[in-house]
Amino acid sequence: MIEVCGDAGDALRDLRDGATVLVGGFGEAGLPFGLLEGLLRCSARDLTVVSNNAGNGDSGLAAVLATGRVKKIICSYPRQVDSWVFDRLYREGRIELELVPQGNLAERIRAAGAGIGGFYTPTGVGTPLAAGKEVRNIAGRDYILELPIHGDVALIRADTADEAGNLTYRKTARNFGPIMATAAKITVAEVSRVVPAGAIDPESVVTPGIFVNRVVLASGPARSGPARSGSAHPGSREATR
Amino acid sequence: MIEVCGDAGDALRDLRDGATVLVGGFGEAGLPFGLLEGLLRCSARDLTVVSNNAGNGDSGLAAVLATGRVKKIICSYPRQVDSWVFDRLYREGRIELELVPQGNLAERIRAAGAGIGGFYTPTGVGTPLAAGKEVRNIAGRDYILELPIHGDVALIRADTADEAGNLTYRKTARNFGPIMATAAKITVAEVSRVVPAGAIDPESVVTPGIFVNRVVLASGPARSGPARSGSAHPGSREATR
Amino acid sequence: MSSPLSRADMAKIVARDIPAGSYVNLGIGQPTLVADYLPPDKHVVLHTENGMLGMGPQACGDEIDPDLTNAGKLPVTELPGASYFHHADSFAMMRGGHLDVCVMGAFQVSTAGDLANWHTGDPDAIPAVGGAMDLAVGAKTVYVMMTLFDKDGNAKVVPECTYPLTGLACVSRVYTDLAVFQLKNDQVYVTETFGTTVGELSARLQIPLVAGPSPD
Amino acid sequence: MSSPLSRADMAKIVARDIPAGSYVNLGIGQPTLVADYLPPDKHVVLHTENGMLGMGPQACGDEIDPDLTNAGKLPVTELPGASYFHHADSFAMMRGGHLDVCVMGAFQVSTAGDLANWHTGDPDAIPAVGGAMDLAVGAKTVYVMMTLFDKDGNAKVVPECTYPLTGLACVSRVYTDLAVFQLKNDQVYVTETFGTTVGELSARLQIPLVAGPSPD
């Protein structure tokens, strides 16, 4: 059973100084805007954020970075046309950057969730991003050793949650959500609706409920139409605030 | 685009002596019976079979083993109440067994499909199945190094295929199918029906078409009802032979 | 209690001790009986390693579907809120420490919590391990459920396992017909006895036992 | 042809050389133009690393959906037969060698096929790598699409890359405004020229060139 939180602040109540926060999204698709607003209002400092990008414009993740409470970001693509908040902090030496190739980033997060202690990847071999990493030849090919990235909290955006915590996503907004959900001690999903257990087809569940602790309804109208199999259900709660 | 083969023999036409064959299924759920019958009629010898079990009764995988054309099996659970074919071959020294814990077996198959050169797993540490394997302490815990298992051919049982090769599965018959499909040079799926591209909801695809080369319609009536979203489509071909 | 437990009674007390809201894997054989004593309002979700969460009771009659089985290959049913996933995801769930409890049978458990439950060591036996080693290292808590003595009267809680190991220092509780044991920091605590006493057990097992639960 | 290629013409010949039925990833920027020249009857399936196969053309007007973008974060559409998957699965698909072709831009390509396309080496630049390194090692065939000389007239096909590397010995073809190159066994083959000759190119690039396609 999941906890349906009244607001993002409640969902983030136990965020501690020094925590590692996994933030879903690729650009703005799959970015949990409501949870990031909750993060803005938290007082936790010295956070490490793991996310593909380092914020766009002045809202969402960029607004969180602007508070100065993030000491380090682990990501694959910080520099974008509208990443001025990160750019400034980075040039001022106020944020540490660990740059990871996108596939290694995804696999390191998956490894954390899957209990894998480390893995050998061909990505990055011979490049500056392999500096200091163990290189090993296996069956005639060079690989580097990469280690898992665990989170204290994962903040993700999904589409529909059922009361068992099962999640579906929408299109390419799925991106990092399913793997981040597996890699954190507490996973909070911002969703467009909550439906009764059984209203999501068990064959179509993307994130099983075991990986989800709390859900918060997204503010604003849902982008999607009603859930494919849960829409007609009388118990469903839609995001309409 | 996938190739829809007329029969299992056609789908297995290029199976060579010494090939490694990944066979889906957990017990009989997800076992591709039709493809295994095709394998029976092939002449390829010295095969290595990778499958969770080593056959039940006298049909399916057991019948293939009984031909004497399998030199080695990699599996987690060969001994069952009705595994007499394997038991006899094993006791007579006519088949080699590589026993792998079930999760390591699954992860090694996934690693092959994902281009991972090897991974550290805690499963098996301190047991006889870790004999000869590298042990490494990472962040205070011991792990053993496991290497990928690649297949030449994967034979799996799915439920619905669309013409783009996308697959869905039925209940716990899903088991090893999706990972084996990623780990072989040629993947052949035995399915209950083939529907036009677009008839499977893109959010519910379990195996994307990139991993599937050939499909064969299963003989006998499908266990499942019609496909959730493809049933009414005039182009769909059902297994009714 | 004043007499040794039946299998059903053992399953009952295991079920009693599983925390509400847990995600639980019940190993093949005896542990599957535990499911019968988990009331729905306890919201325990059952995992089966062949790719399902939300497994329901064994299937009967028309419910039987060859595509829906548990890890013991017996036909089962699906509860509302169930989900299906492939084997790598299923064992990632296990190895990643997401299951709260798993319940397994055993040949031997050592005082350090080492588990032996996949091979008798008989050189003539055909080995089979299945998911036992993955469960042993993966679940947050491993409960063992077994008779305390084998048919020949040999103790199955032992100073050191003599059978091939399944996992190291992984068992935290052992439920038997004669007593319930907690294993912690190489100490064996006896929290309940059935038709025997801690003193009698200590003599028969030839290992030091501490009466009462382990300090937290 | 008698004159250097426009960007559109480069995209056209890249599209021409992509085998029918291929699974293809088009990198962000210029390579996305290639999609416009892939006729539907060629059955090329586009992968975007943010979790989709079967990507359609860029979305316009009402089609725009913020939840459906390509790797360059531009809104795109979905074709029949599409599928969605998460990032680990998407890069497993890439790293596992399942994509037939990827097309990327580059700062430099060496005669050995080394690729530099993520960092200019400027110590003041903010680095960003995205999926470039994964694509470089993962796709079966890597095509580079770029101008042959930079704005300052420096050649971008070079004996050795001076910019930080993206991947080693990974590029097999280089499509430029002036010529198409095949890279094989440390040899550079020129299969087509546009408004120039192999001799002229060899002089400007200061690397040995072989006229005609590489032997198979």
Q: Is the pLDDT of residue A234 over 60?
A: no
CA-wise closest residue to A183 among A98, A114, A100, A105: A114
Residue B174 lies in a domain: yes
| Mean pLDDT of the residues in chain A | 92
**Which residue of chain B is at minimal alpha-carbon distance from C138?**
B123
Domain ranges in chain D are 7-58+67-211
Mutate which of D67, D99, D135 to disrupt the A interface (most A C-beta within 10 Å)?
A: D67
To the nearest whole angstrom, how far is the Cα of B121 from the nearest Cα of chain A?
A: 5
Asked if the model's pLDDT at residue A227 lies above 80, the reply is no
* Contact: chain D with chain B (3+ CB pairs below 8 Å): yes
Helix (H) or strand (E) holding C12: helix C7-17
- Per-residue model confidence as pLDDT tens digits over C96-147: 999 999 999 999 999 999 999 999 888 888 999 999 999 999 999 999 999 9
- Report D:92-111 residues touching B (Cβ under 8 A): 92-99
pLDDT at D34 over 90: yes
**Quick one: pLDDT at residue D168?**
97
User: Mean pLDDT of all residues in chain B?
Assistant: 92
Residues of B in contact with C54 (CB under 8 A): none
Using CB atoms within 10 Å of the CB of residue D215, give its burial: 0 to 12 exposed, 13 to 18 middle, 19+ buried.
Answer: exposed
| Angstrom distances, CA of residue A145 to CA of A99, A202, B120, C57, D17 | 15, 36, 10, 44, 36
CA distance C137 to chain B (A): 6
From chain A, the residues in CB contact with C81 under 8 A are 162-164, 166, 197-198, 209
Rounded to an integer, the average pLDDT of A196-207 is 97
Chains C and B lie in contact, requiring 3 or more CB pairs less than 8 Å apart? yes
**B39-77 confidence digits (pLDDT tens):** 999 999 999 999 999 999 999 999 999 999 999 999 999
Identify the closest residue of chain D to A172 by CA–CA distance. D68
Residues of D in contact with A178 (CB under 8 A): 86, 88
**Any C CB within 8 A of B33 CB:** no
A143 closest CB neighbour out of B117, B202, B203: B117
At C123 the pLDDT is 85
How far apart are alpha carbons D127 and C133 in whole angstroms? 43
Question: Could you tell me if D72 and D46 are in contact, meaning their C-beta atoms sit under 8 angstroms apart?
Answer: no
Closest partner residue to B125 (CB to CB) among C67, C130, C168 is C168
- Taking contacts as CB-CB distances below 8 angstroms, the residues of chain C near A163 are 81
- Greatest Cα-to-Cα distance within chain B, rounded to the nearest angstrom: 59
Domain with A177, as residue range(s), is 3-126+133-218
Nearest 5°: the CA angle B50, B53, B59 is 100
Given a cut of 90, whether residue B170 has pLDDT beyond it is yes
Give the C-alpha separation, B179 to B167, whole Å.
12
Average pLDDT, integer, range B115-142: 98
Rounded Cα distance, D157 and D188, in Å: 10
Within 8 A by CB and 6+ apart from A125, the residues are A135, A142, A143, A144, D137, D167, D168
Contact A123 D133 (CB under 8 A): yes
Q: Which of B116, B139, B170 sits opposite A120 (nearest CB)?
A: B116
For residue B37, being part of any structural domain is answered with yes
Q: Taking all residues of chain D, what is their mean pLDDT, rounded to a whole number?
A: 96
pTM: predicted TM-score of the whole model, two decimal places: 0.96
Phi, psi of B143 (to 5 degrees): -135, 160
Total of domains in chain B: 1
DSSP state of D47: E
**Alpha carbon distance D139, B6 (integer Å):** 31
Q: What is the mean pLDDT of residues A168-176?
A: 98
- Given a cut of 90, is residue B233 above it in pLDDT? no
**Interface with chain A: mutation pick from D53, D74, D86, highest number of A CBs within 10 Å:** D86
The DSSP bridge partners found for residue D174 are D144, D181
pLDDT at A1: 74
User: What CATH architecture applies to the domain D7-58+67-211?
Assistant: 3-Layer(aba) Sandwich (3.40)
Mean local confidence (pLDDT), A21-29: 96
Which residues of B fall within a CB distance of 8 Å from A113? none
Q: With beta carbons less than 8 A apart as the criterion, state whether D102 and D145 touch.
A: no
Which residues face C173 on adjacent strands?
C143, C182
**Mutation target vs B (from A204, A206, A207; most B CBs, 10 A cutoff):** A204
- The residue-averaged pLDDT of D138-164 equals 97
* Chain B residues with CB-CB distance to A117 below 8 A: 119-122, 136, 138-139, 141, 143
Structure confidence at residue B236 (pLDDT): 63
- pLDDT 10s digits, C42-65: 999 999 999 999 999 999 999 999
- Which of D65, D67, D83, D101 best probes binding to B when mutated, by most B CB atoms within 10 angstroms? D83
> What's the pLDDT score for residue B241?
37
Q: Measured on CA atoms in the order A135, A136, A142, A145, is the torsion positive or negative?
A: negative
Rounded to an integer, what is the distance from CA D22 to the centroid of its chain?
14
The partner residue sitting opposite A115, judged by closest CB among B117, B122, B169, is B122
Predicted confidence (pLDDT) at residue A240 exceeds the cutoff of 90: no
Using the predicted structure, report yes or no on whether residue C177 has a pLDDT greater than 50.
yes
Q: Per-residue DSSP letters for A127-143?
A: SGGGTTS-EEEETTEEE
Q: Is B29 on the interface with A (CB under 8 A)?
A: no
Over residues C167-176, the pLDDT tens digits come to: 999 999 999 9
Q: Find the closest chain A residue to D134 by CA distance.
A: A123
Cβ neighbours of B125 in A, within 8 Å: none
Q: Average pLDDT of B27-36? A: 95
Confidence band (pLDDT; 50, 70, 90) for A228? very low
Q: Are C56 and C44 in contact (CB under 8 A)?
A: no
Is the confidence at residue A231, as pLDDT, over 90? no
pLDDT > 80? residue B230:
no
Q: Do chains A and D touch (3 or more CB pairs under 8 A)?
A: yes
D119 touches chain A (CB under 8 A): yes
Confidence of residue B113 (pLDDT cuts 50, 70, 90): very high
Contact list in D for residue A176 (CB cut-off 8 A) is 86-87
From residue C198, give the alpha-carbon distance in Å to each of C13, C191, D39, D138: 19, 9, 80, 62
Can you list the alpha helix ranges (DSSP code H) found in A45-138?
61-66, 84-91, 102-114
| pLDDT of residue A238 exceeding 90 | no
Query: Is residue A150 less than 8 Å (CB to CB) from chain C?
Result: no
pLDDT at residue number C216: 78
Q: Which residues of D touch A127 (CB under 8 A)?
A: 133, 164-167
Angle in degrees, CA C11, C13, C18, rounded to 5: 95
Query: D51-106: per-residue pLDDT in tens?
Result: 999 999 999 999 999 999 999 999 999 999 999 999 999 999 999 999 999 999 99
DSSP 8-state class, residue D155 = B
Tokens 């290629």 found at: D5
Q: What is the pLDDT of residue A229?
A: 41
| Interface check A135 vs B, CB under 8 A | no
- Chains touching D by CB (3 or more pairs below 8 Å): A, B
Residues 159-188, chain A: which have Cβ within 8 Å of D?
169-179
**pLDDT at residue B222 tops 80:** no
The verdict on a CB contact (< 8 Å) between D91 and A103 is yes
CB C70 within 8 A of CB C44: no
* Residue D196 pLDDT > 90: yes
